[in-house]
Amino acid sequence: MGEGQGAVRLRPPANRVNERAVGWWRATLLLLTAAPAALLGLLGAFVEPARWWLLASAGAVALAGLVCAAVLPAWWYRVHRWEVTAEAVHLRTGAVWQEWRIAPMSRIQTVDTVRGPLEQLFRLATVTVTTASSRGALRIEGLDQEVAAALAERLTRITHQTPGDAT
């Protein structure tokens, strides 16, 4: 795209996710590692020939989950950014492999708001912006539920007023 009228620049989006997303991400990581660690621990308690290996594996999975829950959410919070302008939705995600995406308003097909049980506990929501892109939808996670509702309403209003065929 050129530098002329209507050009969309790749730049860091202005908005952070909600700070409660750090707790939500931590809880998610702990829950995801608790189930395999518990299963390995139970198997280790009852399977005599492989007891030591199963219990060591359970400890390793639990330790990995604790380390990930302690480190990754704060890192993700520093990296994840989003912004909506009159022309496009800007999204930056990823900690090691960063992904920057821009969805022009004329390409947006649907806007959805999702609140899973754990997100509801943290009063958060995810806004999913589906476009005609083969890369799939843009997911803006970790938004305050009221911010997410207002964002979905704003995107719906802007895309309705934006000429284009969303294909």
CATH superfamily to which 82-161 belongs? FACT complex subunit Spt16p/Cdc68p (2.30.29.210)
Q: Where are the domains of the chain?
A: 21-76, 82-161
> What is the pLDDT at residue 49?
87
Query: pLDDT tens, position by position, for the chain (167 residues)?
Result: 445 555 655 668 999 999 999 999 999 999 999 999 999 999 998 888 888 899 999 999 999 999 999 999 999 999 999 999 988 999 999 878 888 899 999 889 999 999 999 999 999 999 999 988 778 899 999 999 999 999 999 999 988 877 765 55
Q: What are 29-36's contacts with CB under 8 Å, separation 24+? A: 29/65, 29/68, 29/69, 29/72, 29/73, 30/65, 30/66, 30/69, 31/118, 32/65, 33/61, 33/62, 33/64, 33/65, 33/66, 33/68, 33/69, 34/62, 34/65, 36/61
> What is the pLDDT at residue 2?
47
